[in-house]
Amino acid sequence: MKNKHVVDLTDLSHRELMDIISLANEIKSKPGDYLDACKGKILATLFYEPSTRTQMSFQTAMLRLGGRIIGFDNPQNSSVAKGENLKDTISVIGGYADIIAIRHPSEGTAAAAAMYSPVPIINAGDGGHLHPTQTLTDVITLHNELGRLDNLCIGLCGDLKNGRTVHSLIKTMSTFRGNKFVLISTPELSVPQYIKDVINASECDYTEVTSLAEAMPQLDVLYMTRIQRERFLSEEEYQRQNGVFVLDKDKLRYAKKTMKILHPLPRVDEIDVEVDYDERAKYYIQTVYGMYGRMALILTMLKNYEKVFAPRVMSTHPFKCSNPRCITKSEKYLPSIFTEAGGDMLLCRYCDGRTLI
Ligand code: NCD
């Protein structure tokens, strides 16, 4: 692999992504051939935020490859509770493990960790920003269940503002030609501007709508998401958004027979349980594809790498990122790194936040 770390799935070329999908399917069909593939290797799972699927999927993936696992799922039981910074945690664990999967509530954490890690970093979710291995799960599901990744009409519904799985999925799917995104949300929870900019710069298209039923007939894929309660500033604000979009059998009457329903899970109440019995519902099989995808990714990332201490990175600008959820807000020693986005606009390299100078 060209990149040592996976902060987003777009860190992989199309060739690398297709190779990983093929490898995932190969492992799925012949799991016995891979029982020792990672023998002697250690995966560290550092989860600073709750998780069921992603954490266990990573752990199961490594165990099924014959490797071993270390890590924490409650940072209060680690030195983080004593005030240890991310740089030190990553530098130390990078000396113990061969690969690290990290989830953190601050946006841009994986990019910051990658800056100090001697071993490959996989972003397992950084706040409301990105979640590349969920996208890997989603693309394997689409590839296997629909047979293609291009020329699809993809509806994304729910919390498109805070849903990191949505951002990563749009970024990756807009690298395939002819995809059309139907963004179904309330105006308050629409996708961030930087994601719209990604679509605008691609050979894909998007529309924004507020009715799930009206969007339904044209969709090849419906990607439902949970309203991300933990990202809201107040409970009232969350309650105003919760329950606005619910997929039930009635709405499915307007959908194509071949449409596939995906959801990164956990579901709260945005999909009625009745829908689970519809053959278009793919969210349980999606979790299985995710485990094989992570096996393929770990195996690929562990191939041909050597532990090397990352070189020092210097600030590119004297400014600070203005996104209050950016990792640079809590980890003050991080260099300020921006790319210039034209005019007076800077884009933070950690969180993609926009800062005006
Ligand atoms: C998602 C996440 O953590 O972003 N879950 C997952 O990893 N499968 C989606 C969510 O929490 O809503």
> Do the Cβ atoms of 165 and 135 come closer than 8 Å?
yes
Which CATH number fits the domain 9-130+292-301, given the four candidates 3.40.50.1370, 2.102.10.10, 3.90.1150.10, 3.40.50.720? 3.40.50.1370
> Which is nearest to 20 in space by CA: 305, 292, 286, 284?
292
CATH architecture of 132-288: 3-Layer(aba) Sandwich (3.40)
Ligand 1 neighbour 226 (Cβ under 6 A): yes
Best probe residue, ligand 1, of 47, 265, 267, 282 (max atoms within 8 Å of C-beta): 265
CA–CA separation, 101 and 44 (whole Å) = 6
Burial label, 182 (beta-carbon count in 10 A; 0-12, 13-18, 19+): buried
Atom of ligand 1 nearest to the CA of 49: 3
* Cα–ligand 1 centroid distance for 317 (angstroms): 33
Determine the pLDDT at residue 100.
98
Ligand 1 neighbour 131 (Cβ under 6 A): yes
CA–CA separation, 130 and 9 (whole Å) = 9
* Cα–ligand 1 centroid distance for 114 (angstroms): 21
Best probe residue, ligand 1, of 57, 102, 134, 140 (max atoms within 8 Å of C-beta): 134
Ligand 1 neighbour 125 (Cβ under 6 A): yes
Ligand 1 neighbour 135 (Cβ under 6 A): no
Atom of ligand 1 nearest to the CA of 131: 4
Determine the pLDDT at residue 216.
98
Domain definitions of the chain by residue range = 9-130+292-301, 132-288, 327-356
Ligand 1 neighbour 231 (Cβ under 6 A): no
Determine the pLDDT at residue 52.
86
> Do the Cβ atoms of 64 and 35 come closer than 8 Å?
yes
* Cα–ligand 1 centroid distance for 291 (angstroms): 14
What residue type is assigned to position 341 of the chain? A
User: What is the per-residue pLDDT across 25-78, written as a single tens digit (0 to 9) for each?
Assistant: 999 999 999 999 999 999 999 999 988 889 999 999 999 999 999 999 988 888
Determine the pLDDT at residue 306.
78
* Ranges of the chain with pLDDT below 50: none
Determine the pLDDT at residue 307.
81
Atom of ligand 1 nearest to the CA of 290: 8
Determine the pLDDT at residue 172.
98
Q: Do domains 9-130+292-301 and 132-288 have the same CATH topology?
A: yes
Around 66, how many Cα atoms within 13 Å sit in the side-chain half-sphere? 11
Determine the pLDDT at residue 77.
83
Ligand 1 neighbour 165 (Cβ under 6 A): yes
pTM attached to this predicted model: 0.97
Residue with tokens 């499915």: 252
Residue 145 region, left (φ>0) first, then alpha (ψ -120 to 50), else beta?
A: alpha
* Cα–ligand 1 centroid distance for 300 (angstroms): 24
> Do the Cβ atoms of 246 and 270 come closer than 8 Å?
yes
Ligand 1 neighbour 54 (Cβ under 6 A): yes
Atom of ligand 1 nearest to the CA of 164: 4
